[in-house]
């Protein structure tokens, strides 16, 4: 099953999609991730290909476009929020290990137990108790518990997804949290309160059992006063619009769009008008009070946002293919200079290498229908065997034989190397390796 998502949707769509689950068999009893050994189980679905990106830290490499963008955003927060002595009040975390628990990635953020974003077909699980974070928001409660009130976290995140020019299973996000205690928020109006009188949230009942119980009142959470929410909303929107102007230029056209995230209420996305279309830039909102309560923080309200770096960098620097960020080619890397941000820093193609497309059709096992096949499992096999030379995988045909009742699928795999021309022979060899692996792994019959 291939899900055709809006190519650039990484945010709220992640919280509303629907996928199926399929079991996988780990090859070994243990797996080593970030220098730690974990026992494998039926949840383990991290592939060697995914592990190979671990520790490359491209977002920290000087003059890498992702690093330039990271630095711009961090500098903006350092400059915007200072204490009376002139010191920056935001702390920055850029090297937290990406292995987290489902509690951190989902439960603590109030993502319902039955939510599809938890499924094995969407996430890379180390085992039942650990996964590679699917968003940097996963560290929110831990950082709040450790006493932080304003912070940014930058890091790599992992999602199983389709293969094309804008999706890659490893990408980078920045998440920010800004909290204010009543005494600071209302320092000029000490008679005002953050919370409605007589309203209590209950930390024990904060995790909704069913997605359908999500609260979507866009005005405010019941516990908050309108004054507190409006002040925070005003700060959030002002700060984030100025961030967009810092990145895209003073004259950028923008709009706020209502959104939904389980961990914020109300929630908004900021969109900017760029080259003829509205681009979703970031997700944000007023933090759910249950999260602050669970972290043991009282009489405080917060706002938060999350932004994906690749998509922003692709737009700003006109980088056409997400795989380029992983390139070691100096022809790519030398094009970007930190100090040139704001000047005309646009990607110039190193060279255009030709594509090569090969199809792969197979009959599914007798008991399987076309919708039982998990596209992301197929994508991971393709990535594991062929690596980054695959530019796109698309499901081009589904067929059910009228007599035998057997179902078949046909995938088109488009190959293109970022740094050289691939010969048809090289492609054929890799394609046939994919074919035999797919045959064994999914118990299918090649047509
Ligand atoms: N974690 C969200 C995602 O990956 C993005 C996000 C939205 C982060 C709202 C936030 C937030 O901190 O408040 O799609």
Q: What is the DSSP string of 3-51?
A: ----TT--SGGGGT----------SSSEEEETTEEEE--TT----HHHH
Q: How far is the CA of 305 from the centre of ligand 1 (A)?
A: 6
According to the model, what pLDDT value does residue 187 have? 96
According to the model, what pLDDT value does residue 199 have? 74
Ligand 1 near 112 CB (within 6 A): no
Q: How far apart are CA 312 and CA 130, in angstroms?
A: 29
- Identify the residue with better confidence: 207 or 149: 149
pTM, full prediction: 0.85
Give the pLDDT confidence of 282-326 residue by residue, as tens digits.
Answer: 999 999 999 999 999 999 999 999 999 999 999 999 999 999 999
Q: How far is the CA of 135 from the centre of ligand 1 (A)?
A: 7
Q: How far is the CA of 263 from the centre of ligand 1 (A)?
A: 8
Beta strands in 120-248 (DSSP E): 125-127, 130-132, 150-158, 170-181
- Which residue among 283, 287, 304 has the greatest number of ligand 1 atoms within 8 angstroms of its CB, and so is best to mutate? 283
Same fold yes or no, 8-316 and 356-446: no
Q: How confident is the model at residue 351 (pLDDT cuts 50, 70, 90)?
A: low
Ligand 1 near 158 CB (within 6 A): no
Ligand 1 near 304 CB (within 6 A): yes
Mean pLDDT of 356-365: 95
Please report, for the chain, the start and end positions of each structural domain, with discontinuous segments joined by +: 8-316, 356-446
DSSP letter for 88, please: B
Take atom 12 of ligand 1 and give the residue whose Cα is closest.
305
Q: Which residue matches tokens 């940014």?
A: 152
Tell me the C-alpha to C-alpha distance, in Å, between residue 276 and each of 53, 130, 271. 34, 42, 12
Fold of 8-316: BirA Bifunctional Protein; domain 2 (3.30.930)
Instruction: Report the mean per-residue pLDDT for the chain.
Output: 89
Q: How far apart are CA 351 and CA 360, in angstroms?
A: 28
Ligand 1 near 117 CB (within 6 A): no
Q: How confident is the model at residue 45 (pLDDT cuts 50, 70, 90)?
A: very high
What is the architecture, at CATH level 2, of domain 356-446?
2-Layer Sandwich (3.30)
Lowest mean pLDDT among 7-16, 40-49, 387-396: 7-16
The helix (run of H) or strand (run of E) holding residue 70 is helix 65-80
According to the model, what pLDDT value does residue 214 have? 52
Ligand 1 near 134 CB (within 6 A): no
Q: How far is the CA of 173 from the centre of ligand 1 (A)?
A: 9
Q: How far is the CA of 400 from the centre of ligand 1 (A)?
A: 40
Tell me the C-alpha to C-alpha distance, in Å, between residue 142 and each of 102, 104, 165, 237, 270. 13, 8, 34, 25, 27
Mean pLDDT of 256-285: 95
Of 151, 133, 60, nearest in space to 97 by CA: 133
Ligand 1 near 262 CB (within 6 A): no
Residue 6 pLDDT greater than 60, yes or no: no
Q: How far is the CA of 9 from the centre of ligand 1 (A)?
A: 12
Mean pLDDT of 239-248: 96
Give the pLDDT confidence of 188-220 residue by residue, as tens digits.
Answer: 999 999 999 877 665 444 555 445 445 578 899
Give the pLDDT confidence of 405-432 residue by residue, as tens digits.
Answer: 999 999 999 998 988 899 999 999 999 9
Q: How far is the CA of 12 from the centre of ligand 1 (A)?
A: 8
């Amino acid at each position: 099953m291939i899900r055709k998502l809006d190519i650039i949707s990484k945010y709220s769509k992640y919280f509303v999609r629907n996928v199926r689950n399929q079991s996988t068999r780990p090859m070994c009893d243990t797996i080593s991730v970030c220098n730690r050994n974990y026992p494998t189980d039926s949840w383990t679905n991290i592939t060697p290909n995914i592990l190979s990106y671990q520790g490359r830290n491209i977002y920290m490499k000087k003059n890498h476009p992702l690093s330039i963008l990271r630095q711009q955003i961090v500098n903006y927060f350092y400059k915007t929020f200072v204490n009376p002595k002139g010191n920056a009040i935001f702390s920055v975390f850029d090297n937290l290990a990406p292995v987290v628990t489902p509690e951190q990635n989902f439960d603590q953020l109030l993502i319902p137990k039955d939510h599809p974003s938890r499924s094995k077909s969407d996430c890379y699980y180390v085992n039942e108790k650990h996964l590679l974070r699917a968003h940097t928001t996963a560290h929110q409660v831990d950082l709040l518990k450790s006493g932080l009130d304003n912070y940014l976290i930058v890091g790599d995140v992992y999602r199983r997804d389709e293969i094309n020019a804008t999706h890659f299973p490893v990408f980078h996000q920045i998440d920010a949290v800004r909290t204010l205690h009543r005494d600071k928020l209302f320092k000029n109006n000490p008679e005002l309160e953050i919370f409605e009188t007589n309203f209590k949230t209950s930390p024990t009942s904060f995790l909704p059992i069913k997605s359908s119980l999500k609260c979507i009142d866009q005005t405010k959470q019941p516990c908050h006063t309108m004054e507190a929410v409006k002040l925070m909303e005003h700060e959030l929107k002002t700060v984030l619009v100025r961030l967009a102007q810092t990145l895209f230029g003073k004259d950028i056209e923008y709009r706020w769009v209502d959104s939904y995230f389980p961990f914020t209420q109300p929630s908004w996305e900021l969109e900017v008008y760029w080259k003829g279309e509205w681009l979703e830039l970031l997700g944000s909102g007023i933090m759910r009070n249950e999260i602050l309560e669970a972290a043991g923080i009282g009489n405080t309200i917060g706002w938060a946002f999350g932004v994906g770096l690749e998509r922003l960098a692709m737009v700003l620097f006109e980088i056409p293919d997400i795989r380029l960020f992983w390139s070691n080619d100096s022809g790519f890397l030398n094009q970007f200079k930190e100090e040139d941000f704001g000047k005309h820093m646009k990607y110039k193609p190193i060279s255009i290498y030709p594509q090569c497309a090969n199809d792969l059709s197979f009959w599914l096992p007798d008991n399987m229908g076309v919708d039982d096949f998990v596209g992301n499992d197929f994508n991971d096999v393709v990535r594991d065997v062929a690596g980054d030379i695959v530019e796109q995988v698309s499901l081009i045909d589904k067929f059910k034989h009228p007599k035998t009742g057997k179902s078949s699928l046909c995938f088109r795999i488009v190959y293109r190397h970022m740094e050289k021309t691939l010969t048809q022979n090289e492609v054929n060899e890799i394609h046939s390796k994919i074919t035999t692996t797919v045959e064994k792994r999914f118990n299918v019959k090649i047509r």
